[in-house]
Amino acid sequence: MTCIGIIGGSGLYDLPGLTDGHWETVETPFGTPSDQIFRARLGDTDLAFLPRHGRGHGVNPSEINYRANIDALKRLGVTDILSMSACGSLAEDLPPGSFVAVDQFIDRTHARARSFFSHGMVAHVSMAEPTCARLRAAVVAAGGETGTPVRDGGTYVTIEGPQFSTKAESHLYRQWGAQVIGMTNMPEARLAREAEICYQTVAMVTDYDCWHEEEEAVEVSAVIRVLKDNADRARALVAHAAPRIAAARAATCPHGCDRVLDTAIITPPEARGGDALARLDAVAGRVLKS
């Protein structure tokens, strides 16, 4: 059964047509998620909304418990994640207000837990294609339906934050070929892959970072103004993309996102720590139980 997780701002769950809406508290072996999770239905589609920074935006990017967030969604049966993420633009042709369906990442974070697998069990999953092409196609198509064009593909560089980049860093990331910059999608995408959840980032551009000589350096007040302008379009995009994703889902992901652990766990069964088995009951239960 398909259940679509939406990670993003606290207003995303305010969609017209939602039914059976309620907040759920989910406990995880990795601690407390950013907030409760809002469960609801949109027609025949099950949705689970998680405010990434908590309601009221009280959790900074480095303090987000990414493992707890992904584990909690997995425990609720989430099969697909749309990550709605405000970001800066590193490209002239992506002005504020642009939307990008990201297909690659450059990870510059350094202070975050990056894996579920440790202390008794080791796994190595492939991150060559870190987002799901099936979800990306659904998002791009939904953008066409809602009048919000979504760029098909782009590289997102994730910085630690919470400070914005220096100008030298911003120019460096442009030289690397990145199109957008943000603080939250790594290790989120890595952990979704380890949890065998199909994952897609929708980057919503709020500013030109600080590389653009003809624009003011990024500041919070300007970001908030564009965020408010983007909010209605983001909700419309989710409302159109979610049923598309549910309708197009087969028994298994054609790109293998939901089967990566078949060949990833390197620790043999006899050497796996007991506490590791308990800790990974949701994330890796499919393969560990077999």
- For 22-40, what is each residue's pLDDT tens digit? 999 999 999 999 999 999 9
Nearest Cα residue to 139 out of 85, 78, 202, 96 = 202
Q: Is residue 237 part of a domain?
A: no
d(CA 95, CA 113): 32
Active site residue 35: no
Active site residue: 35, 80, 103, 207, which one? 207
Look up the domain containing 166 and give its range.
3-115+129-219
Residue 273's pLDDT is what? 80
Q: Cβ distance 198 to 257 under 8 Å?
A: yes
The CATH number of the domain holding residue 199 is 3.40.50.1580
| Structural domains of the chain, count | 1
Residues paired with residue 157 on neighbouring β-strands, in sequence order: 106, 181
Is residue 222 annotated as involved in ligand binding?
A: no
Residues of the chain scoring pLDDT < 50 = none
Phi-psi region of 231 (alpha: psi -120 to 50; beta: other; left: phi over 0): alpha
Q: Does residue 272 lie within any of the structural domains?
A: no
- Is residue 85 annotated as involved in ligand binding? yes
Q: Which of 14, 209, 275, 281 is labelled catalytic?
A: 209
pTM over 0.85: yes
DSSP for 31-74, written as a single string: B--SS-EEEEEETTEEEEEEETTTTTT-S-GGG--HHHHHHHHH
Asked whether residue 39 is assigned to any structural domain, the reply reads: yes
Question: Is residue 227 included in any domain, yes or no?
Answer: no
Q: Would you state the pLDDT for residue 228?
A: 77
- Is 184 within any annotated ligand binding site? yes
pLDDT attached to residue 252:
86
- pLDDT of the residue at 14: 85
Pairwise CA distance, residues 54 & 266, whole Å: 35
Active-site annotation holds for 209: yes
Whether 83 has a binding-site annotation, put simply, is no
User: How does pLDDT run across 122-161, given as a tens digit for each residue?
Assistant: 999 999 999 999 999 999 999 999 999 999 999 999 999 9
